[in-house]
């Protein structure tokens, strides 16, 4: 972990630490970025990769430590500041205006103007076309961004970054939404930029890709740099070892219990993608009562989409779903829930909770039928009793169930979403990234609840992009990649390497560009 001493270093972080209210996101990191090379950064979710990059891009300021640019200490007060120093970043979520043209996007906030006569559209388009040609993108600068497929939008972002005379280009998971052919184009562009002397920082989960494009690799775990090497000296095993380390996190001990009958079966689930291709590609899977099936996959692997198809949120999806031996493929979401299916969505705020309602109303939202008299009257006592029971069962810290649900912490909000699903008395529970964005204690609670429910005979499918989680919690592990179900392995036989390799399967490219 010695900072490299060679002089082709364009930017160096020395002893950088970043603390957010109580949480240390990055501790004492030393990182050197080399000119004319691809500097790869890997690590699990929450390892601190993004924080480190946001520090370099001027979005965040380090709490401690120095940033050296060409050997001189610098301080970035804003992303614009970093841009002036030649640092450009392409974020994981694209920051483009879909309703504007490619040229307008590239020159947003620094439009080419002709004094009082306003924006010189022709000049902008010409210049933008120049940049796009350099990338060999085949995009017309006058098209609207929303009309472009996602891969080309990514290229627009890159064109925008290099139009700023970028010397350091940070790409945060640039391939997460790209098809294999689009990845090839992107890699060609990266090689060209490299030849022009640009230092590229490349963040990705896809190890196979890193091995192909990377020159130097840095591994992060829990905010610390745990490995640094030349890519040609190492293999994927080394990466996985450095990423995961040896100290295991706190997971609920799995209780051995007998699995029951098959209660859930999905056959040939397909969902077309809006930009062509399939977001969910002929996925068939079955789960038995009391079984926990972990679905591992990277961002964009189609896990959330698969769950959404199963719960009946996509009208264009095809395939059949059986719960408890009954075919429910023709039911809408409401009837599927009635037949024993429940889903806990990934994005708590956007899809899980109704923020304006109280904790109590959120909990019973999906199961009001249980408290009815005469088919329409909600019986207050019944509802309150059920709410009290749920709050106790899940150890939700709610001082008053009539408070708005947003008055609680993220972990407790997640428990409310879980409670809402459980109150429908499901036979099959689907949990999409159940541990996302909640603190360690709440995570442990959620995991314990999952094991307890499985012990009570519930079939659980959960998705995660955390290797340790999937290894520790599942009875069986399914790996999805690029919409396809690559493999299903018994936990006893699964190794981390197998899973990581399988998760990149769907992105294998067939040919290599020179």
Partner 1 sequence: MTVASTTTNASEASNGSLLLTLMKLRTFIALFAVIAFFSVFAPNFLSTANLILMSKHVALNAFLAMGMTFVIITGGIDLSVGSIVGLCGMVAGGLILNGIDLQFGYTIYFNVFEVCLITLAVGIVIGAINGLLITKLNVAPFIATLGTLYVARGFALLSSDGQTFPNLVGKPELATTGFAFLGSGRLLGLPVSIWILIVVALAAAYVAKYTPIGRHIFAVGGNERAARISGIRVDRVKMFVYMFSGFCAAIVGLVISSELMASHPATGNSFELNAIAAAVLGGTSMSGGRGTIGGTIIGAFVIGILSDGLVMMGISSFWQMVIKGIVIIVAVVVDQAQRRLQQQVTLMQLAKNG
* Positions in the binding site for partner 1 (CB under 8 A): 311, 313, 332-334, 336-338, 343, 345, 350-357, 361, 364-366, 368-369, 372, 376-378, 380, 397, 399, 403-404, 407, 420, 424
Q: How far is CA 467 from CA 43, 57, 248, 352, in A?
A: 11, 29, 11, 25
Looking at the chain, the number of H-run helices and the number of E-run strands are 16, 22
When the beta carbons of 420 and 451 are compared against partner 1, the nearer one is 420
Q: How far is the CB of 395 from partner 1 (least distance, A)?
A: 15
Tokens of 222: 């829990």
**C-beta of 345: minimal distance to partner 1 in Å?**
6
Closest-CA residue to 67 (of 79, 52, 80, 46)? 52
CB of 420 to partner 1, least distance (A): 7
Burial string for 260-278 (b: 16+ CB within 10 Å, else e) reads eeebbbbbebbbebeeeeb
Closest to partner 1 by CB, 337 vs 467, is 337
Q: How far is the CB of 413 from partner 1 (least distance, A)?
A: 12
- The answer to whether residues 190 and 314 touch, using CB atoms and an 8 Å cutoff, is no
By C-beta, is 173 or 383 nearer to partner 1? 383
3-state secondary structure 471-503: HHHCCEEEEEECCEEEEEEEHHHCCHHHHHHHH
* Interatomic CA distance for residues 387 and 401, integer angstroms: 8
Residue whose C-alpha is closest to residue 321's, from 342, 336, 334, 305: 336
- Cβ nearer to partner 1, comparing 62 with 312: 312
**Closer CB to partner 1, residue 8 or residue 332?**
332
The least distance separating partner 1 from the CB of residue 295, rounded to whole angstroms, comes to 18
Query: Rounded to the nearest 10 degrees, what angle do helices 180-195 and 150-162 cross at?
Result: 10
CB of 435 to partner 1, least distance (A): 19
As given in the structure block, the two tokens for residue 336 are: 């599927």
Q: Closest separation between CB of residue 403 and partner 1, Å?
A: 6
Query: Which C-beta is closer to partner 1: that of 350 or that of 513?
Result: 350
Nearer to partner 1, 30 or 313 (CB): 313
Pair 178, 151: CB distance under 8 Å: yes
Q: Give the whole-angstrom CA distance, residue 48 versus residue 258.
A: 40
């Amino acid at each position: 972990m010695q900072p490299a001493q060679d002089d082709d270093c364009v930017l160096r972080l020395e002893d950088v630490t970043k603390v957010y209210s109580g949480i240390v996101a990055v501790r004492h990191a030393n990182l050197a970025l080399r000119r004319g090379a691809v500097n790869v950064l890997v690590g699990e979710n929450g390892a601190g990769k993004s924080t480190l990059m946001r520090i370099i891009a001027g979005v965040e300021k380090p709490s401690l430590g120095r940033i050296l640019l060409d050997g001189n200490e610098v301080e970035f007060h804003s992303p614009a500041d970093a841009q002036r120093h030649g640092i450009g970043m392409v974020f994981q979520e694209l920051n483009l205006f879909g309703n504007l043209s490619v040229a307008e996007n590239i020159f947003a906030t620094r439009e080419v103007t002709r004094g009082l006569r306003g924006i010189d559209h022709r000049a902008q388009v010409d210049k933008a076309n120049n940049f796009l040609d350099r990338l060999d993108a085949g995009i017309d600068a006058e098209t609207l961004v929303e009309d472009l497929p996602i891969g080309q939008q990514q290229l627009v972002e890159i064109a925008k970054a290099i139009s700023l005379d970028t010397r350091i280009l940070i790409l945060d998971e640039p391939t997460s939404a790209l098809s294999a052919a689009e990845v090839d184009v992107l890699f060609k562009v990266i090689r060209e930029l490299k030849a022009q002397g640009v230092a590229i920082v490349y963040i990705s989960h896809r190890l196979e890709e890193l091995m192909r494009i990377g020159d130097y690799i840095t591994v992060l775990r829990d905010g610390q740099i745990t490995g640094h090497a030349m890519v040609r000296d190492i293999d994927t095993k080394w990466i996985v070892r450095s990423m995961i380390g040896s100290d295991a996190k706190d997971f609920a001990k799995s209780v051995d219990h007998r699995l029951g009958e098959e209660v859930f079966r999905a056959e040939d689930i397909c969902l077309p993608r809006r930009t062509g291709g399939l977001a969910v590609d002929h996925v068939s899977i079955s789960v038995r009562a009391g079984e926990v099936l972990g679905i591992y996959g990277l961002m964009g692997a189609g896990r959330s989409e698969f769950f959404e198809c199963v719960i009946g949120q996509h009208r264009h999806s095809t395939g059949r779903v059986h719960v408890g031996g009954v075919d429910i493929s023709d039911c809408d979401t409401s009837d599927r829930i009635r037949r024993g299916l429940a889903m806990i969505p990934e994005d708590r705020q956007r899809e899980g909770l109704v923020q304006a309602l109280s904790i109590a109303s959120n909990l019973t939202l999906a199961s009001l039928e249980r408290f009815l008299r005469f088919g329409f009257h909600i019986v207050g006592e019944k509802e309150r009793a059920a709410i009290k029971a749920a709050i106790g069962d899940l150890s939700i810290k709610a001082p008053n169930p009539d408070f708005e649900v947003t008055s609680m912490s993220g972990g407790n909000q997640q428990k409310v979403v879980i409670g809402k699903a459980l109150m429908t008395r499901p036979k099959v529970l689907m949990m999409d990234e159940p541990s996302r964005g909640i603190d360690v204690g709440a995570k442990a609670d959620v995991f314990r609840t999952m094991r307890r429910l499985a012990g009570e005979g519930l079939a659980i499918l959960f998705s995660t992009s955390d290797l340790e989680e999937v290894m520790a919690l599942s009875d069986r592990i399914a790996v999805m990649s690029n919409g396809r179900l690559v493999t299903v392995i018994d936990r006893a036989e699964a190794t981390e390497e197998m899973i990581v390799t399988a998760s990149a399967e769907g992105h294998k490219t067939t040919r290599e560009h020179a």
